[in-house]
Structure 1
């Protein structure tokens, strides 16, 4: 098994390092880097104006990190009278460390999982602030607005896409019998697929791809990938465990 890891830094190289430690060949391919988002300057005022009982949502550890940096620069603490909801365990752990508040997270690490949590059982009139990148799924905000919540996005970071090193590496990947690709978001999957030239498409469709959710699995299926493994997590630990299991079973289907 030889793995291409398509995820942002620093997780990309951290995952590659962990795979190497387990004796698996892996190549990093970080397609995206991140810059501060346009709403960071107004975030301190936004949080100060929130009424007690409002809900703060973070869609990634990156959203938490950028938001916390902005609050530190403003010498402002996280609110103590809001409810905190994170998309997954790692985001919740990072957030709890910096905000000092209890952070809830679902077993299913996506919007559907978050919507099943207690803070969203009765949201009429509730203020909800979603910390995220410059774009993302609209399902959660739409569902909450339909239920009477007042939802506001806060763009804490924005993405900067890179063509290299993908274009220069894809030829060597096919020659090196790379057979597995880890892709941790739908946007990265679409971008990765677009950048692979026509001559590399046959190789790509022969690979198994690992994705973190049923939604991205459906996206991969629509792009005509046949061999897809859904991990139900973006955590490197979960990805490593899945890849180790697949390597021992000869990449057999789940």
Structure 2
């Protein structure tokens, strides 16, 4: 078994290290880079009026906290904090000093079932995110009567790569499993693969963190898709470890 890990940055490197320690060959190929977002400066506007602050990812927490630190801004103490996943909730709680609620399954549908989001008419909600994504959350909260605003606190930029060269290398390394943790990354990755190599691509076992991405992958043509229910490295690793020796 050999795993291609496409999640970016430290999380991707960490997962590869854990896989190697578990005796699983792994290769890291980050699909994204991150830079500060254009709407960071808007966070200081009426920040004390926010009723609920939502963090979409650990990156949204990190870039926001760095901006707050640089500009001597404190995380508001009188609002409710929510996060999509466990790791994001832990990081948000660490920097804001408040309790952070999150769903057991890290997707938009389960997030919208949180008790904090049921009676929100006229509530002021700010969603910390990158450039695009999570429109279902925004639309649903607006339908429930909330006053919702995005703050794009970081930018995702896809990293171009020579798929012809790398696919040959991955095939030579006997890659049979790939970890992809977002819908955008899945579509970008697949779009780079030449038609002649699509049979190889769709034959890979695909590991994804949500049912929505799994359905997209199946519709795209992937034959074997495993949904971990979470993008946490611990959950990705738990799904991959039973395959040792295969």
TM-score (norm 2): 0.96
SS of 1:10's equivalent in the other structure is helix
Check conservation: 1:29, 1:166, Cα contact below 8 A: no
SS of 1:14's equivalent in the other structure is helix
Check conservation: 1:43, 1:70, Cα contact below 8 A: no
Match of 1:217 in 2: 214
Match of 2:10 in 1: 10
Match of 1:98 in 2: 95
Q: CA deviation at 1:91?
A: 0.5
Match of 1:148 among 145, 149, 159: 145
Deviations 1:16-75 (A, max 9, x none): 111111111110010100010110011122423x15xx1100011110000111111110
Match of 2:179 in 1: 182
Moved over 3 A (4+): 165-168
Deviations 1:125-157 (A, max 9, x none): 001100000100211111111111000000010
Matched, 1:201 2:198: yes
* Structure 2 gap ranges (5+): none
Matched, 1:235 2:227: no
| Structure 2 CA distance for partners of 1:132 and 1:46, relative to 1, 3 Å | farther
Q: How many residues are aligned here?
A: 246
> 2: distance between equivalents of 1:167 and 1:133?
30
Q: CA deviation at 1:167?
A: 4.8
Q: CA deviation at 1:6?
A: 1.0
Matched, 1:63 2:60: yes
Deviations 1:145-180 (A, max 9, x none): 111100000001011111136553211111222110
TM-score (norm 1): 0.93
Deviations 1:79-105 (A, max 9, x none): 000000011110010011100011111
Q: CA deviation at 1:222?
A: 1.1
CA RMSD of aligned residues (A): 1.3
